Copies of this chain bind each other. A is one copy, B any other.
């Protein structure tokens, strides 16, 4: 595996690759590192659809609206590199913060105003602007043919897919299913910050989501309000940021009395000051 840390080098690598292998396809998996089985499944998916795989590891400061969350974000580059080598990833792009933002934070704003003030955007001002910015520029540097994003960050996946189309990138955006521990807990780098008791509490999240999904599958006339009641009842010991039912294409929250044919039930909670998100897709 070749590790590249500068923008100049990754661009040079990309141009050389184009010249040498004009027909080969590049798959891309952008990550913030501290890789777990969830990431590895994204990489597996990239390998299936491309000839060569580039993984990036960059903890993007401008997408953290909470500086403490940024500083607490776990990092283990040595272990990440070992995992990526095992998976026979071809290129790791791991730039420093200075390499990306050395000349100061960007002043330009890329935004989806009507999509970024619901769900995770509502309480994280600037978060998705930061995500869209870094993904845009990683796409510019790597110029992949496809890129894989996990459905755990459903809103992120949807916005990146829209941005890729509207900003005319020739990149196929591939969705990868959310991965769970056997006990149901959604995989997340942030789980590493939870105590045993925290993990135990966190299991309520997926239990609530699974029950809500089951109820809906047994009765498609279940309203959004009834789903919300289940979520809040089943997670009553947790500090809930949001827990609701959203149109899975335009991310608008359904009204209490509405029923639906397809939706995403999405949740964000805080446990031991760690922000956890999870969702199930209904269709």
Contact status of A107 and B167, CB under 8 A, knowing A18-B18, A19-B22, A22-B19: no
**Would you mind naming 10 contact pairs between A and B with Cβ atoms under 8 Å apart?**
A11-B170, A18-B18, A107-B115, A107-B162, A108-B110, A108-B167, A109-B110, A109-B112, A136-B167, A136-B168
Q: How far is the CB of A22 from chain B (nearest CB, A)?
A: 6
Q: How does the 8 Å CB contact mask read for A73-115 relative to B, with 1 for contact and 0 for none?
A: 0000000000000000000000000000000001111111111
Specify which chain B residues have a CB less than 8 angstroms from the CB of A113 in the assembled complex: 109
Digitize A1-41: 1 where CB-to-B-CB distance is under 8 Å, 0 elsewhere.
00000010001000000110010000000000000000000
**Interface residue A197 (Cβ < 8 Å from any Cβ of B):** no
- The answer to whether B137 touches A168, judged by C-beta atoms less than 8 angstroms apart, is yes
Q: Which chain B residues border A107 with CB–CB below 8 Å?
A: 112, 114-115, 162, 166
Contacts of A108 in B (CB 8 A): 110-112, 162-163, 166-167
> Does A273 touch B at the CB level, under 8 Å?
no
Check A141/B168 contact, CB under 8 A, given A18-B18, A107-B162. yes
Q: What's the minimum C-beta distance from A53 to chain B, rounded to whole angstroms? A: 21
Q: Is the CB of B167 within 8 A of A140?
A: yes
Q: Which residues of B contact A58 (CB under 8 A)?
A: none
Query: In the complex, which residues of chain B have a beta carbon less than 8 angstroms from the beta carbon of A167?
Result: 108, 136-137, 140
A233 vs chain B, min Cβ distance (A)? 35
- The answer to whether A166 touches B109, judged by C-beta atoms less than 8 angstroms apart, is no
Does A169 sit at the interface, judged by CB under 8 A?
Answer: yes
Interface centre among A112, A113, A167 (most CB of B within 10 A): A167
Q: Which residues of B contact A106 (CB under 8 A)?
A: 166
**Given the interface contacts A19-B22, A140-B169, A170-B11, does A110 sit within 8 Å of B110 by beta carbon?**
yes
CB distance from A224 to the nearest CB of B (A): 24
